Structure 1
């Protein structure tokens, strides 16, 4: 390993995203993949064994929460930068991650170039945050300051299939699969429709929710209570 290379570990339970982020790191000469973990237990072994500069971590792990790992690494290895990479950007998770020690927070639909850029920014002392996530942080700050015209508590998400759902049943179904990290082709196979039809539905979803990406669509839908938890 070159002394100039950024050493990275990935903690992600979804195989598709695990492979994607590993490929992004492997394809960047200035970075080195030090290890990959699919759950909290594997991550703990990796953290104890490896020396690394950056941890990319998802919050929803099958055997516990990523928040505990963030807190542990930030306390035991203060020189390590921690970047949350997730589908959801709700206020509670964003603020909890930052309070635990995360120094960056991006959505899983970030492009490979964005992921590489964010890792470099982390090591340069910055705190990269996806725009839709930054919106959550600002909302949380306003809420705590009482600037949102409330008593300081965030409004609870509405239940799925709320009356104000602007999406059709098919669009909601597709969005639910998007939130699980499935590709357009996989969604088409599950629903028995062509990838072209899936794309057409997703364009309508983006337009109705006034968003421009998968991550933003999932975030807005979760805030509106349109997704099953």
Structure 2
């Protein structure tokens, strides 16, 4: 499957495969010092569960979008993967032809899923007696109203962000990578990642796009 994925990625100029790994240990050793935008992971790895890789990636690189590509289509694995931090879940059957499209969707903030996985999620909601309402886009008036009194005001959020966090937020909003940001402010990439995690927590967001949207909505960015 790795060879097939590599072949698909190589056929698209806007995508690049920066690393392949045959085991969880291999990728876990590599991740801390190599910022990436997307991680594709199988759950059935030879040394440990792919769930461990997902959790580690979310901790080490909170801005990285993780998508599972696996043979496991059961509800238990699906739920555990999403709880661990996956943003997408594809079954290996029929993945190859649309893989580039799914990766682009993931980068844009989407959650690509195989139809059977989406059906299982829907059934899970229905069995719980909950109809999932359409979520308004983050940053719109409706989405902000939905957070009601739990949402701190702009002044309070601004006070919570340190000067260094403001600097990091400004740079990533202007398109600088973690490595470029680290170089400009004279710190390590790991330190930048720590600042980003803190920013996400203080803004109550989960990725870079949401952070920028929210910061602009609060008047913290132009």
Q: TM-score, normalised by structure 2?
A: 0.55
Q: 1:37 aligns with which of 6, 11, 21?
A: 21
Q: Which runs of 5+ in 2 are unaligned?
A: 132-222
Task: Give yes or no for contact 1:104–1:122 (8 Å, CA) kept in 2.
Answer: yes
Q: Which has the higher strand share?
A: 1
2:87 corresponds in structure 1 to: 103
Question: Number of paired residues?
Answer: 131
Alignment of 1:96-175 (within 5 A): 96-145=80-129
2:68 corresponds in structure 1 to: 84
Q: Which has the higher helix share?
A: 2
Q: Which runs of 5+ in 1 are unaligned?
A: 1-16, 148-229
State the distance in 1 between where 2:97 and 2:104 align. 11
Task: Give yes or no for contact 2:89–2:112 (8 Å, CA) kept in 1.
Answer: yes
Report how far residue 46 of structure 1 moved: 2.3
Task: Give yes or no for contact 2:66–2:88 (8 Å, CA) kept in 1.
Answer: yes
Q: TM-score, normalised by structure 1?
A: 0.54
Task: Give yes or no for contact 2:32–2:60 (8 Å, CA) kept in 1.
Answer: no
Secondary structure of the corresponding residue to residue 48 of structure 1: helix
Instruction: Check if 1:26 corresponds to 2:7.
Output: no
Over 3 Å counting, the alpha-carbon distance change for 1:71 and 1:145 in structure 2 is farther
Range moving further from structure 2, 68-77 or 97-106:
68-77
